[in-house]
Structure 1
Amino acid sequence: GSRPSHHEVESSLGRCSAMSPEALNQHVHGPVPSAGRPRDITAHMPPGAISGPQWTDFMMQVLRMLHTLKQRQQQQSEQLALLANMLDSVLPAPTEPLVVAPLKDLEEFLAYEKVLAASDEKKLQLKRYIKIIGGDDAKEKTSRILKKLLTYDIGVAFTWYGTKDKRRFCDLQFCQLMCGGLTEQQNKKEAEVTLKDIEKTTMTWLRHAKERLDNCQKRGAAQMAHPEEDEDD
């Protein structure tokens, strides 16, 4: 019933540490608790005394728990590394922020059209920006996009369907991405946006571009004055 000597404890610990996990589990009484909580090894002990076998049993349970915790920690580390690798392969590479300033003239706008036609990344970039511009209804959303990204100097070169010496706006990459971004950006809290709404608002904006450009010039403003400085459509 006496407590084992220091030498006996060290000898017992040495034998346990040299065991494989399977051998250690067989050597120790009881299965590993599934929740990582050790069984009460002192419940059967007489008050004020710990026998040699009980002390050895306690020490082996400590070793077993440490071994189990180490295995679980290693498994969790491997799982975290796997998840990190999965995220790296799934998440798209960050895109450069879109320049908010409007395209200044027709030449720059047509060059941007070519960039959109050749780059899916630039298409996605523009579409994301279109979705965050916002507005209370379909008309305001469309107008805000046109005002933020185009100038009247560009608008005078287009009509929706293209007539006489005017270019066709509805076939542009810019127009198609604007329509896609606005019609996809819908939930129960937002006003519905239809292609007809976008077409009607854009036609009006293009039709008034010449008049508003002339007004800017009369006021001494630069030819590519920012449309947001003028009154709403």
Structure 2
Amino acid sequence: MNTSRDAVKSRVRREVDALFETFGRPDEACGSSQPKFQRQVLTQLAGLRVVQQQQGQLLGDLVTRFARRDMEAQANSEPLVAMPFDDYGTLKQFDCTLTGTRKEVFIRELAVKGGANPAACTKRMLRYVMTDHLACQFSWQGRKGKLSFCQMQLPSCITCAVQTAHEASDFTVEMAIREWLRHAPARQHNAIAKDSAAE
């Protein structure tokens, strides 16, 4: 307890010195009580600044702790996606349920997947949601006879989830989704070839 009190006093002294450097030291030779008053005011200000910084740090730690606990609780609860969807019908049904609280729960479920950067994070989430077989049926806007991915709720869920872990624009996440969908046929072809070679 004394150690933390001494640390606070030391920080207050440093803050007072910094304030004196900024505003100048009072002229103690003038013989009035003004220099003493100035020192007291600056000491109080420095003390308030130190306390404010400590409370800010404490608040930041609490926010981080609660966010981590919330994510761990979500990870330990029953997931909304038991395994990646493999057909459009069931994925579409699931997508239609992503509103309100359920959407928020799903975003937290996705956010736990993580990733080293926004693109890697996006791809991990997409792999969690659907197989390459199903991804082959989609393109971002649904051109060339494919299904439109951007019309679903999933893209906004993935974007929000990525942005909880990384600083990323909507466009960055969209480009990662587009790329992942575009390469789905090649991934599926490679997986089939690998399975054939193993037999």
| TM-score calculated relative to the size of structure 2 | 0.55
Q: Matched residue of 1:192: which SS?
A: coil
Select between 166-175 and 94-103 the one with higher mean Cα deviation. 94-103
Q: How much has 1:213 moved relative to structure 2?
A: 1.2
The 5-angstrom pairing of residues 154-233 of structure 1 reads 154-183=134-163, 185-186=164-165, 191-220=166-195
Q: How much has 1:181 moved relative to structure 2?
A: 2.3
Q: How much has 1:96 moved relative to structure 2?
A: 4.2
Residue equivalent to 1:99: 81
Q: How much has 1:140 moved relative to structure 2?
A: 1.0
- The code of the aligned residue for 1:166 comes to K
Q: How much has 1:179 moved relative to structure 2?
A: 1.2
Runs of 4+ residues deviating >6 angstroms: none
- The code of the aligned residue for 1:209 comes to A
Distance 1:176 1:143 in 2: 14
Residue equivalent to 1:112: 94
User: Higher Cα Rg: structure 1 or 2?
Assistant: 1
Residue equivalent to 1:17: none
1:122 and 2:97 are equivalent in the alignment: no
Distance 1:175 1:216, change over 3 A: same
Distance 2:91 2:123 in 1: 18
| TM-score calculated relative to the size of structure 1 | 0.47
- The code of the aligned residue for 1:101 comes to M
1:180-204 C-alpha deviation (Å, 9 max, x unpaired): 2222x15xxxx42111211111111
Residue equivalent to 2:112: 132
Q: How much has 1:105 moved relative to structure 2?
A: 2.0
Select between 152-161 and 209-218 the one with higher mean Cα deviation. 209-218
Q: How much has 1:126 moved relative to structure 2?
A: 0.9
1:98/1:126 contact within 8 Å kept: yes
The 5-angstrom pairing of residues 64-79 of structure 1 reads none
State the identity as a percent.
Answer: 26
Distance 2:173 2:83 in 1: 22
Q: Which has the higher helix share?
A: 2
- The code of the aligned residue for 1:102 comes to P
Distance 2:112 2:176 in 1: 19
Distance 2:80 2:149 in 1: 21
Distance 2:90 2:130 in 1: 10
Residue equivalent to 1:38: none
1:100/1:148 contact within 8 Å kept: no
- The code of the aligned residue for 1:122 comes to R
Residue equivalent to 1:153: 133
1:138/1:194 contact within 8 Å kept: no
- The code of the aligned residue for 1:121 comes to T
Q: How much has 1:220 moved relative to structure 2?
A: 3.1
